[in-house]
Amino acid sequence: MESKRRRPTEAELAILRVLWEGKAQSVRAIQQVLNESRPTGYTTVLKLMQIMTEKGLVERDETCRPRLYRARYTRQQTQRQLLGDLMNRAFGGSVKAMVLQALAIKKSSPEELEAMETSATPTDPPWFRTCAAQTDTPLRRLPRPLTSSCVRRLLQLGMPSDLLPVRRGEHAKQLDSMQGRGLSWFR
């Protein structure tokens, strides 16, 4: 994804949500959908679409009339770009700090927490994918205290020590000795 991509405004995000829901649409069709939730003029939507085209947020099909617009980036790509930008600007690049703040703002249901813990995607770190695949157990449900071999394996897979589901004192000597051997993921 391009790092220089411009962030969409709130109004532009509303238009993108309409475009993500279906196929390419005309300005009139987008305006009608937006009008259902908030009165929006045709010329306002048209001007926003022109700006979004200049920004590279949407693509315009010039081969037909009325002109059809489609989102240039998927919902997921845009969400990742916005989250990455927020994480860098507000949290100094710390995923942990951002997630903890997000969880503090709104209480998550047990189902949402379970989904977060059990979903492993190709972008998850190797220690998470391996743990999920080998144990079929969410990290918070791993037995405590963890055995030394389990801690060692998670650290070898790249799990940051501050994310280990153990109290610092339980394996402090082992963590310190592993860190002393040049393991670079300790923060």
pLDDT given at position 52: 96
The answer for residues whose C-beta is within 8 angstroms of residue 139's C-beta and 6 or more apart is: 117, 128, 131, 163, 165
Q: Give me 52's structure tokens.
A: 């979004």
For residue 2, which phi and psi values (nearest 5 degrees)? -70, 135
How confident is the model over 81-95, as a mean pLDDT?
88
Pair 72, 58: CB distance under 8 Å: yes
| C-alpha to C-alpha distance for 152 and 106, rounded to whole angstroms | 34
The answer for residues whose C-beta is within 8 angstroms of residue 25's C-beta and 6 or more apart is: 18, 19, 68, 69, 70
Residue 159 pLDDT > 90: no
Q: Which helix (H) or strand (E) holds 68?
A: strand 68-71
How confident is the model over 102-130, as a mean pLDDT?
67
Q: Sorting pLDDT into bands at 50, 70 and 90, what band is 136?
A: very low
Q: Domains in the chain and their CATH numbers?
A: 10-73 (1.10.10.10), 109-187 (no CATH)
Residue 26 pLDDT > 50: yes
What pTM was computed for the model? 0.59
Could you read off the pLDDT of 36-74 as tens digits, one per residue?
999 999 999 999 999 999 999 999 998 988 999 999 999
Q: Sorting pLDDT into bands at 50, 70 and 90, what band is 94?
A: confident
Which of residues 150 and 90 earns the better pLDDT score?
A: 90
Which of residues 129 and 7 earns the better pLDDT score?
A: 7
pLDDT given at position 84: 87
